[in-house]
Structure 1
Amino acid sequence: MSEQKKDLPQREAIEEKYRWRLEDIYSTDEAWEKEYLSVSEQVEKLKSLQGQLAQNSATLLQALQWQDELGQKMEKLFTYARMRRDENNSNTVYQALTDRITALSSDVSSQTAFLLPEILAIPDGTLQQFLQKEQGLALYRFALDDLRRQKPHVLSEKEEALLAQTSEVTQAASKIFTMLNNADITFPTVKDSQGQEIQITHGRYGQLMESRDRELRRQTFQALYHTYQGLENTIAATLGTAVKRDVVMARIRNHSSALERALFSDNISVEVYDNLIKAVRQHLPTFYRYVELRKKELKVEELHMYDLYTPIVEGVDWQIPYEEAISMVQESLKPLGEEYCTILQKAFQNRWIDVYENRGKTSGAYAWGPYGVHPYVLMNYQEKLSDVFTLSHEMGHALHSHYSYQKQPYVYAHYSIFVAEVASTVNESLLIHHLLKIEKDKTKRRYLLNHYLEQFRGTVFRQTMFAEFEKLIHHKVEKGEALTPEVLKSSYRQLNHDYYGPAMVVDEEIDVEWARIPHFYNNFYVYKYATGFAAATALTKRIIEDGEKAVGPYLEFLAGGSSDYPLELLKKAGVDMSTPGPVEESLALFEQLLEELATL
């Protein structure tokens, strides 16, 4: 545990080659400031067209083009400020920059709120004439058609302007939780079997829970969740506020539920969400067999929640330095072709990635970056096999963005969240297939199978449980019920009993796990991990079996951005997520892998 020192290093102590190069966005903070000050002029230019969009096609085109230019500039400003803050959340300079651009975003949204209702007020016949007359509008045809679809849920110009002014306030619950969870919260130290004190951090928690030292796992588990239990009233209030926001916004937008509103932007029916939960619940008996196998292999009388993450295969201390992880990822992704691998190499060489944990750094991992530059990846690398998969996962996101940025104009450059987890999970699937193909050592092979089954557990079963929890708590608020800590804990506890089955001891501490899940502040997001995993399973099978024949449509999917609805983009790549087929296919693979592990 070489990285598990009591105190995390300061940002400056991390070697430069392991820190992302945000200077590719703005060379200095002063350059950011200059662009920030230029926004008001661009907003005024756009506002000068207010009331004129229906007059002629040229004016409509100009408004759409200026809107794109403004959006691209705001995206650069926001990503730079936020990613600088993520380097060290206690840095007040970048806290201030993030606050300023967040406030400006709200103001810009308010001042440009006239665009949507004014475009929707253009009669259909007039809009069709504009499209025929103005060649430049052809680019915006799909976007304009999608706007017409949204018409029943768009308010008047005045109401939209008022609503836009509330955007910063409606994000308050998420912001408060982020600062509490990343900047203010402090976890206790625990002692390992040698008596060495280890400071628990977000980044280290996963590593500690994989430890073979069961007492260390138990201490870590209890210490972390007792910290959250001490904050359960505060975090219940922030989560409850976020859920109320979702419910209120759904009502304001004339949707029948918060869930329907969340799925509407992707043009996805509620049945897709419900079918996922139904399919996973039907396969829970197979998952119970995995839980029972874990209990047997760990040789414990009782299987506790803190026993879920340690590998069930003994004798494998697989520490993987970052440079080795890069080689593993590159080799595994060769089936995606030379072009893909060249871009991947460029990302590794040109400091797109922020690798190691430092004091104040945002926990976890993500891929993000502004159009017109390139994507970035935030990591908290700890030299575990799971970190190699995280690296592959986030590079999947990054290259998905890269392809979309390169092939799509700004209006279609940002892919839907529904397909966001597909490319990342294809990368992970290719990595596990590669490792299983080359690994001859029986113990390591069992270790890899265990890891792959854990991917299913964490991405399909666990995220679906999260999705069901989200649906449950939103439904409670829609019925007028309060989300007290007791309500949240009892609901969460019952779901853990349902999903993990009779072989699992559902420890009291896990009742408050909801308090540490940041995704719950981005409503109905997590189900997309499970659907994305299912789609990726089907696509990976095609890529491995059909080679170039499957790779071509897959890369076209990556380059599709949001130029079509997500289900349609996936159909073009060869997967139909409107049916339960891909979910069933992935769960059948889980059962197959479980059988192989049990046999070994």
Structure 2
Amino acid sequence: MQKKLCLTFCLCGAMLIPAIGPGTVSAANGELPDRAAIADAYKWRLNDIYPNDTAWQADANKLKTLFSQVAGYQGKLGNSAHDLLACLKLQDEISILAGERLYPYARMRRDENTADNEYQALSGKAQSLLVEAKAATGFIEPEILAIPANKLAAFRRQEPALKPYSYFLDGLLLKKKHVLSPAQEELLFRSEDVTEAPADIFNTLTGADMKFPAVKDEQGQEVQLSPGRYINFLRSNDREVRRTAFEAYNNTYHQYRNTLAATLNGYVKKNIYYAKSRNYASALEASLAPDRIPVSVYDNLITTVNNHLEPLHRYVALKKKALQLQEIHMYDLYVPLVRDVRYQIPYDEGIKMVERALAPLGPDYALNLNKAITSGWIDAYETKNKRSGAYSWGIYGVHPFILLNYNNDLNDVSTIAHELGHTMHSFYSNASQPFITSQYSIFTAETASTVNEHLFLNHMLNQTTAKNKKIYLINQYLEDLRATVYRQTMFAEFEKMIYARAEQGETLTADSLERIYHDLNVKYFGPEMTVDKEIDIEWARVPHFYRNFYVYQYATGYSAATALSEQILTEGKPARERYINQFLKAGGSDTPINILKRAGVDMAAPQPIEVTLTKFAALVDQLEKLLAE
């Protein structure tokens, strides 16, 4: 979030080239510019973390001394409340230094230019320091768990300064019944390298060994298929291009169906083994336990979405009609309803659009948002060897940073809104919470960013009068919701089903996985959809199935964001104050479910998901009317 005006110049060869400013993203020859050619107003200020690399090294040396200090507490945490508090404070200091200063600085310097060997090396050193920090403090949690419950309770009464650690300590106590003897814990720890094999094999097979055929593009040219190119083929206006790409891509996975079934079966069995070893009722319960999410939340998502499949069925039917198809197939889902909608939005205008869209969040949010934009928090433009994509990185005790690769497209403006959502979440949390409770959970991580996206899309829809652009925006909104709520819930239901079968002793084979996946597609997409046999293998190419029970959080986070944004737009001040004070400022001070509930959203109930799917249905209605005009 950055934008300080600067008219610097840089030397490039023998030429003096003015620094690139608003709306200029490439050098004169069409190549990406060097970083030095970008005005400072459009670059982040990592000097806010360290003024130079010498200061970084001084803190790296200091960290080593902290390792020695914390080692002095090993074996003593049960002695007194004073020793426990001192050790926890020292752990915070180590974590801040390693994870909130040394590592982010080195990584973000590397991300500025991934070809810079100096910062590649510094990033490697920072990663090693993180590992050392984890090892140096690894004794703390087991020692706390070994303190008798009544004694730990007495420590907490005796020492008021332990109060900020209450949520952390309560979490450890909940975990206690799932912690084994030291010898058993050692065995489980040593087995992790071996049990990661299924995921490693999947990544190697699909990322390195699997080769995709060439297919013809819209010009009739042979083009090599790849995971990155596949979605562009599915968006083609030429239906034959879509069909052939769809068949070729999925049939490539089909050739390895038995191996891929074996890797997924092995990964599922691994998680069941660890869950049983730690006395959890199921692998699902074990996966949700760290964030204290009840299994009922997962089940509620699936049940509620299953009860609201009709709007998705209507959307499929509407798309079939709009595309004038006799049959709609799985490869027709991604093709846009309107073509040639183009936006050219310079960065400064994009920033203004986002500020206007987020005005419903109130004056305090606007003030801090402007600080983010004008104070060197954002790295805006793509440059040579800069890391691709976008992210927000919250640095406790400094401020968050945003990496963008802005290229004047509407999606780039939406990305600004998204990343600013993460950034403001980190900003408010870090400013309001002690370090130990400043980190929000994965369950809520995408909520703030998606609230901003919703507010931005609503703003764009309200400001847009051109029919084609309105259709484009509504279709984008529907596709985002379909992909994030319906699709991810289908994935979550698939996971639940295969784990249930494996926990009953069934081996997951390619045939059984394909049957389950086919039937889910029939159920979710409805009677108008022709569910092609090629889609049956899609489970085999979903990398998130190797992060067990992770995908449901996309759907819950999106639903929470939809409910919150609707409240902000309809209720005004009371809703935004709940959102900022009870959610953004809460960090990780309570369970994600409790934090969201105080903000006005109960994710243990159907209502937020119902609000989201009602929004989907209303957008289908709007789209239907526009297409009929």
TM-score (structure 1 length as normaliser): 0.84
Question: In the alignment, which residue of structure 1 is the partner of 2:378?
Answer: 352
Q: Secondary structure of 2:446's partner?
A: helix
> Matches of residues 322-471 of structure 1 in structure 2 within 5 Å?
322-349=347-374, 350=376, 352-353=378-379, 356=382, 365-377=390-402, 385-471=410-496
Question: In the alignment, which residue of structure 1 is the partner of 2:92?
Answer: 68
549-558 or 493-502, which deviates more: 493-502
Distance 1:484 1:99, change over 3 A: farther
136-145 or 373-382, which deviates more: 373-382
Q: Secondary structure of 1:367's partner?
A: strand
Question: Within 2, Cα distance between the matches of 1:461 and 1:89?
Answer: 37
Q: Secondary structure of 1:45's partner?
A: helix
CA RMSD of aligned residues (A): 3.9
**Is 1:564 the counterpart of 2:564 in the alignment?**
no
**1:288 Cα deviation from its structure 2 partner:** 0.8
> Matches of residues 168-317 of structure 1 in structure 2 within 5 Å?
192-194=217-219, 206=231, 209-218=234-243, 220-222=245-247, 224-225=249-250, 239-314=264-339, 316-317=341-342
Distance 1:201 1:383, change over 3 A: farther
8 A contact 2:242–2:332 mirrored in 1: yes
576-585 or 216-225, which deviates more: 216-225
Distance 1:518 1:327, change over 3 A: farther
**1:454 Cα deviation from its structure 2 partner:** 1.6
**1:312 Cα deviation from its structure 2 partner:** 1.7
Question: In the alignment, which residue of structure 2 is the partner of 1:58?
Answer: 82
8 A contact 2:447–2:561 mirrored in 1: yes
Question: Within 1, Cα distance between the matches of 2:77 and 2:601?
Answer: 39
8 A contact 1:366–1:379 mirrored in 2: yes
Distance 1:583 1:473, change over 3 A: same
**1:314 Cα deviation from its structure 2 partner:** 4.8
Question: In the alignment, which residue of structure 2 is the partner of 1:577?
Answer: 603
Could you tell me which runs of 5 or more consecutive residues in structure 2 were left unpaired when the two chains were aligned. 1-24
Question: Within 2, Cα distance between the matches of 1:304 and 1:193?
Answer: 19
**1:561 Cα deviation from its structure 2 partner:** 0.5
8 A contact 1:304–1:507 mirrored in 2: yes
Which of 536, 539, 547 is matched with 2:561 structurally? 536
Question: In the alignment, which residue of structure 2 is the partner of 1:493?
Answer: 518
Question: Within 2, Cα distance between the matches of 1:127 and 1:310?
Answer: 60
8 A contact 2:518–2:531 mirrored in 1: yes
Q: Secondary structure of 2:316's partner?
A: helix
352-361 or 67-76, which deviates more: 352-361
**1:434 Cα deviation from its structure 2 partner:** 0.9
**1:243 Cα deviation from its structure 2 partner:** 3.4
Question: Within 2, Cα distance between the matches of 1:201 and 1:509?
Answer: 17
**1:346 Cα deviation from its structure 2 partner:** 4.3
Counterpart amino acid of residue 605 in structure 2: T
Superposed CA deviations along residues 61-117 of structure 1, whole A, max 9, x for unmatched, are 011111112222332455556667777889998887777766665565455333223
Distance 1:430 1:296, change over 3 A: same
Question: In the alignment, which residue of structure 1 is the partner of 2:16?
Answer: none
Question: In the alignment, which residue of structure 1 is the partner of 2:12?
Answer: none
**Is 1:588 the counterpart of 2:614 in the alignment?**
yes
Question: In the alignment, which residue of structure 2 is the partner of 1:510?
Answer: 535
8 A contact 1:109–1:165 mirrored in 2: no
518-527 or 82-91, which deviates more: 82-91
396-405 or 152-161, which deviates more: 152-161
**1:270 Cα deviation from its structure 2 partner:** 0.9
- Aligned identity (percent) is 47
Superposed CA deviations along residues 303-334 of structure 1, whole A, max 9, x for unmatched, are 23232222223563445555544333222111
8 A contact 1:183–1:360 mirrored in 2: no
Question: In the alignment, which residue of structure 2 is the partner of 1:113?
Answer: 138
Distance 1:430 1:259, change over 3 A: same
492-501 or 294-303, which deviates more: 492-501
Distance 1:14 1:167, change over 3 A: farther
Aligned residues: 593
Question: Within 1, Cα distance between the matches of 2:198 and 2:38?
Answer: 34
Q: Secondary structure of 1:337's partner?
A: helix
**1:560 Cα deviation from its structure 2 partner:** 0.5
**1:38 Cα deviation from its structure 2 partner:** 5.3
Question: Within 2, Cα distance between the matches of 1:171 and 1:354?
Answer: 37
451-460 or 151-160, which deviates more: 151-160
Question: In the alignment, which residue of structure 2 is the partner of 1:45?
Answer: 69
Counterpart amino acid of residue 556 in structure 2: T
Distance 1:220 1:39, change over 3 A: farther
196-205 or 253-262, which deviates more: 196-205
Counterpart amino acid of residue 363 in structure 2: E
**1:293 Cα deviation from its structure 2 partner:** 0.5
Distance 1:232 1:394, change over 3 A: farther
Distance 1:145 1:385, change over 3 A: same
Superposed CA deviations along residues 454-478 of structure 1, whole A, max 9, x for unmatched, are 2221111011011112223333443
Superposed CA deviations along residues 206-234 of structure 1, whole A, max 9, x for unmatched, are 55544444444445545654665567677
Question: Within 1, Cα distance between the matches of 2:259 and 2:533?
Answer: 19
Distance 1:233 1:369, change over 3 A: farther
108-117 or 456-465, which deviates more: 108-117
Question: Within 2, Cα distance between the matches of 1:227 and 1:382?
Answer: 34
Question: Within 2, Cα distance between the matches of 1:406 and 1:53?
Answer: 30
Q: Secondary structure of 2:281's partner?
A: coil
Question: Within 1, Cα distance between the matches of 2:204 and 2:56?
Answer: 23
Counterpart amino acid of residue 564 in structure 1: D
8 A contact 1:356–1:381 mirrored in 2: yes
277-286 or 127-136, which deviates more: 127-136
Question: Within 2, Cα distance between the matches of 1:83 and 1:186?
Answer: 33
8 A contact 2:32–2:383 mirrored in 1: no
Question: Within 1, Cα distance between the matches of 2:33 and 2:194?
Answer: 31
Distance 1:264 1:387, change over 3 A: same
Superposed CA deviations along residues 427-447 of structure 1, whole A, max 9, x for unmatched, are 111112111222222332232
Counterpart amino acid of residue 63 in structure 1: C
Superposed CA deviations along residues 248-289 of structure 1, whole A, max 9, x for unmatched, are 332232211111012122222111111111111121122111
Counterpart amino acid of residue 598 in structure 1: E
Could you tell me which runs of 5 or more consecutive residues in structure 1 were left unpaired when the two chains were aligned. none
8 A contact 1:207–1:384 mirrored in 2: no
Counterpart amino acid of residue 66 in structure 1: L
245-254 or 403-412, which deviates more: 245-254
Counterpart amino acid of residue 48 in structure 1: G
**1:406 Cα deviation from its structure 2 partner:** 2.0
